[in-house]
Amino acid sequence: MAEVTVIGAQWGDEGKGKIVDWLSARADVVVRFQGGHNAGHTLVIDGAVYKLSLLPSGVVRPGKIGVIGNGVVVDPFALINEMQRIAKQGVDINPDNLLIAENASLILPVHQELDALREGASETVKIGTTKRGIGPAYEDKAGRRALKIIDLADFETLEAKIDNLLLHHNALRRGFGVDNYDKTKLLELLKEIAPKILPFMNPVWRTLHEMRRIGKKILFEGAQGVLLDVDHGTYPFVTSSNTVAGQAATGSGLGPRAVGYVLGIVKAYTTRVGEGPFPTELTDEIGQRLGERGHEFGTVTGRQRRCGWFDATLTRQSLMISGVDGIVLTKLDVLDGFDELKVCTGYTIDGQHYDYLPAGMDAQAKATPVYETLPGWSGSTEKARSWADLPAEAVKYVRRIEELIKAPVALVSTSPEREDVIMMRDPFQEK
């Protein structure tokens, strides 16, 4: 097997960064295929902490090629800032180890301003956006007025494309009672950033096909989680892209067979950032304890994550939607010391039992979890690297989760450190 696709199987923040880094030691190429710089990954390597948001996780490893695919929306200013910050930590990023799809869409300052205007004006549904312009950029992509990376190479036609873009945005801005966006200012900003971005531009679809043809191992790195997918997530409290495994093909320019082994990252409990339904949320001291022990703060935003018990029903649903072959169970060590643990096995909505979460916003808000109680453990799972290192009750917990979500556990992560992993299956050797 030469390809593995890693996705988050909950609401994001499952610990994908560490797992992608761990797998990248076995891969040649790491590809981002959707999302933008609202998705954060924290890597801990030999005590050094790397915080990435747009760069593929593989860039911190010598000899690996990082790819930003066409499915990603790219803020060129944020990208250059991130590259400069990582360079200060001794990571050399150059056109040999980072490729950006020439047809990736740009996030511009006008998108960020629109994002903030909308979130501030809404009095009904608050989505909880990071206000980084991700949603408006995807809207412009679908509306066929987006600027692409390759447009930065042709300033003779760029001005007309900016006019087309601002025709839409200025109408919206007038509706919010703010001035039109300054076209000259935007043009100057793009002329300044273009020479810094263009050296990384590449026909990524073609390059990846060639890499696959010669047998390079490709690792696809998803952002956010399936429950934030614009089609399959808890709509409208979702992101603006498809986060499911199938997007790895569309967002990279490779066909669906290239998705390979699909690995879903699943936290041993559940967290969510921002607004939206969360059936197993705990607002008591247990939820606070999970948040404190798990250091549950967003990598990008710093926002505190909402915490709750493991939701096997939602996880099973997201695994089915994404065609997951196996999961990585992360942060098992956070559950050390609990007398008992609860797992959601279904919901009650208006007196009716459901073994899935319906798509309706009202039904999702009313969903009351049905719990199964499991014994906790007093021993430590932290830094365990084999089944023998785990307390018996922890093993039972993992095995019960496998049964409930109907998917095998391929890996178990027991600390933020890269090597603290118990491997049952090597994803690159599966299928």
Active site residues: 13, 41
Contact (CB, 8 A) for 217 and 28? yes
Show the tokens assigned to 331: 């942060």
Backbone angles phi and psi of 244, in degrees to 5? -75, 165
Q: How far is CA 340 from the centre of its chain?
A: 30
What is the torsional sign of CA 151, 155, 156, 160? positive
Show the tokens assigned to 15: 């610990």
- HSE-CB of 181 using CA atoms within 13 angstroms: 26
CA angle, residues 70, 131, 200, in degrees to nearest 5: 30
